[in-house]
């Protein structure tokens, strides 16, 4: 296990002392996101704005990449293509530009002309903005319920102070991912909600590991000052955090660079989310514990001196 420790166990980086810098970075991210939301808004995709859905079957298996280029050449906004079945069935979705019935008919006719005659149309549907509105509402509920469930879990496993710090960090992560979409104008669709939930899940996993070590050290070193104890706990788990983030980043980077346009668009927010989640777990959630009244029972340690406890912790860790 020692061979995998890329960070020495006795590392003494003072994360608590750097909390002013990390808190400032987090506040800037939140403010930039709120400013972008108020000025630029969210660039909603077909899933939220509504549009047209065509399920078509080709007589021969089509080249999806070439077909996507042909659809984009129509300049009808976002076009989504998804193959299923044996590959000859394609689901085409494109956004609606106008509400009039005449413009809808022209848009569908334009797509049919581009697809050519050797196509069977299995389904043609129109998705209204009401469906998109419901999807926005349900997505917000999904994120909200996920955060509340995590809050309850952490409060039961640790104390309410840990739960509050973890949820603040998670809200920061979700806002940061939202800022990625608003600041750079990326299309916000169903995959964006998935990316936010994945980021929240990854971040809470890292946070729980650090909190668990903080709780262990609180029991072992009851007279150690809290800032020193938090630093010690973060440094002891730093190797694990960096190894986990690095291996995950390698996998997601492979998807981003070699997965094609559709998968790259989905993997980029996750890629950024891993970095943000690691940052918030180390530099935001843990230092925030300083500002809450964590219960500590001062007194004689059980099971040996602090030095003996540290040696045992080092051997186990």
Q: Which fold has domain 51-127?
A: Alpha-Beta Plaits (3.30.70)
Question: Would you call 293 helix, strand, or coil by DSSP?
Answer: coil
The pair of three-digit structure tokens given for residue 292, joined into one six-digit string: 């809450």
Q: State the angle between helix axes of 190-220 and 160-184 in degrees (0 to 180), rounded to the nearest 10.
A: 150
Could you give the residue range(s) of every CATH 1.20.1640.10 domain in the chain? 2-41+132-316
Q: Which pLDDT value is given to residue 54?
A: 83
Tallying the residues shown for the chain, one arrives at 317
The pair of three-digit structure tokens given for residue 174, joined into one six-digit string: 């979700």
Could you give the residue range(s) of every CATH 3.30.70.3400 domain in the chain? 51-127
Q: Decide if 116 contacts 69 (C-beta within 8 A).
A: no
The domain covering 2-41+132-316 belongs, at the CATH homologous superfamily level, to: Multidrug efflux transporter AcrB transmembrane domain (1.20.1640.10)
Closest CA to 270 of 286, 284, 251, 285: 251
Q: Which pLDDT value is given to residue 4?
A: 55
Distances in Å between the Cα of 104 and the Cα atoms of 77, 101, 141, 295 are: 14, 5, 32, 64
- Among 49-63, 72-86, 180-194, 199-213, whose mean pLDDT is lowest? 72-86
**CB atoms < 10 A from the CB of 260, how many?**
11
Q: Which pLDDT value is given to residue 260?
A: 73
Pairing mode, if any, of strands 79-84 and 89-95? Answer: antiparallel
What is d(CA 283, CA 291) in angstroms, rounded to the nearest whole number?
Answer: 14
Q: Decide if 106 contacts 97 (C-beta within 8 A).
A: no
Which range has highest mean pLDDT (69-73, 76-80, 140-144, 252-256)? 252-256
Confidence of residue 303 (pLDDT cuts 50, 70, 90): very low
Q: Which pLDDT value is given to residue 34?
A: 93
**Average pLDDT across the chain, whole number:** 80
What is d(CA 89, CA 55) in angstroms, rounded to the nearest whole number?
Answer: 7
Question: Does the structure show a pLDDT above 50 at 80?
Answer: yes
Alpha helix segments (H runs only) across the chain:
19-39, 46-49, 64-72, 101-115, 129-157, 160-184, 190-220, 226-258, 260-280, 286-288, 306-316
pLDDT digits (tens, 9 = 90+) for 164-222: 898 899 889 989 999 988 888 887 877 888 888 888 888 888 898 999 999 899 888 88
């Amino acid at each position: 296990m020692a061979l995998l420790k890329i960070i020495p166990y006795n590392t003494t980086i003072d994360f608590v002392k750097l909390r002013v810098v990390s808190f400032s970075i987090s506040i800037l991210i939140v403010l930039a996101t709120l400013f972008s939301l108020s000025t630029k808004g969210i660039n909603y995709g077909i899933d939220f704005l509504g549009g047209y859905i065509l399920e078509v079957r080709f007589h021969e298996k089509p080249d999806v990449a070439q077909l996507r280029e042909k659809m984009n050449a129509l300049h009808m906004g976002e076009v989504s293509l998804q193959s299923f079945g044996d590959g000859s069935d394609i689901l085409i979705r494109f956004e609606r530009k106008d509400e009039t019935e005449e413009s809808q008919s022209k848009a569908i006719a334009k797509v049919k002309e581009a697809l050519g005659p050797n196509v069977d149309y299995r389904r043609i549907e129109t998705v209204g903005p009401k469906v998109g509105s419901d999807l926005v509402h349900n997505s917000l509920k999904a994120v909200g319920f996920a955060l509340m469930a995590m809050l309850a879990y952490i409060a039961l496993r640790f104390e309410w102070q840990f739960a509050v710090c973890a949820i603040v960090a998670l809200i920061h992560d979700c806002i940061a991912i939202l800022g990625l979409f608003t600041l750079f104008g990326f299309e916000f669709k169903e995959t964006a909600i998935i990316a936010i939930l994945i980021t929240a899940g990854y971040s809470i996993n890292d946070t729980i590991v650090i909190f668990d070590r903080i709780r262990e050290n609180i029991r072992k070193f009851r007279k150690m000052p809290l800032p020193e104890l938090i630093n010690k706990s973060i440094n002891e788990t730093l190797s694990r955090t960096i190894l986990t983030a690095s291996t995950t980043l390698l996998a997601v980077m492979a998807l981003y660079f070699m997965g094609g346009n559709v998968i790259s668009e989905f993997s980029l927010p996750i890629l950024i989310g891993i970095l943000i989640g690691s940052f918030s777990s180390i530099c935001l959630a843990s230092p925030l514990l300083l500002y809450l009244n964590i219960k500590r029972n001062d007194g004689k340690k059980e099971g040996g001196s602090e030095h003996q406890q540290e040696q045992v912790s080092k051997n186990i860790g």
